[in-house]
Amino acid sequence: MTTTAVIPAYNEAGNIKKVISETLPFVDEILVIDDGSDDETALLSQKAGATVVSQPHQGYVQALKRGFQSAKGDIVVTLDADGEHDPSDIVKVVAPIQNGKADLVLGRRKYIPSVSERFIGTIVMVKAAVYDHGTGFRALTKELAVTLTLRGKCTCGTFVLEAVSKGARITEVPITIREIEKKRKRKWIHVIQIIYVLYQFIKS
């Protein structure tokens, strides 16, 4: 089975080259979805060996969906462009799919720092026995990926719940999270996201 890494990126010129170089040994294709960056993210990604798919700035969710549609691999892996994820964990994340035991594999963090994300998790766990519903490091079959609507401001809760509604087999594997300087996230997004989560909860 071939593997495509989908890396949504917005103004990540300082990190993207290293992320790509570390990812290349573990996949057959790397797609960087340049989400309207106004720095050299796209140029540096091409020089590092990735295929760049550019779009106007639409946000992480739309970048993921664009990547899913563009991926050529049988398995799609998503990881962040900021260097937080260790690409060597790709081997662990894709293994359950390669072994025919899962359709979606979540890279499980040891701790979820966001209170709002943990609250969403209590809703998700009613439908799916998973801990880290909001992880950005995941693997899924291309077949599943292209069917996901992914409504909402982010993927927290909705990604897993929609996969559940489609009968996907879901599992988790532990991953390494690197200490990096993270961009501040707007916590109010989760307030809106809860509405989408509840909608998808009812549907699933």
Name the β-bridge partners of 138. 78, 106
| Domain residue ranges in the chain | 3-203
pLDDT of residue 184: 61
Tell me which architecture the domain covering 3-203 has in CATH. Answer: Alpha-Beta Complex (3.90)
| H/E stretch holding 55 | strand 51-55
Alpha helices of 36-131 — where are they, by DSSP H? Answer: 41-48, 60-70, 90-98, 115-127
Q: Which are the contacts of 57, defined by CB distance < 8 A and separation ≥ 6?
A: 10, 35, 36
Q: Round to whole Å and give the CA distance between 168 and 164.
A: 5
pLDDT of residue 189: 87
pLDDT of residue 185: 62
pLDDT tens, N- to C-terminus, the chain (204 residues): 999 999 999 999 999 999 999 999 999 999 999 999 999 999 999 999 999 999 999 999 999 999 999 999 999 999 999 999 999 999 999 999 999 999 999 999 999 988 999 999 999 999 999 999 999 999 999 999 999 999 998 999 999 999 999 999 999 999 999 988 776 666 688 889 999 999 999 988
pLDDT of residue 113: 83
Q: Round to whole Å and give the CA distance between 12 and 190.
A: 23
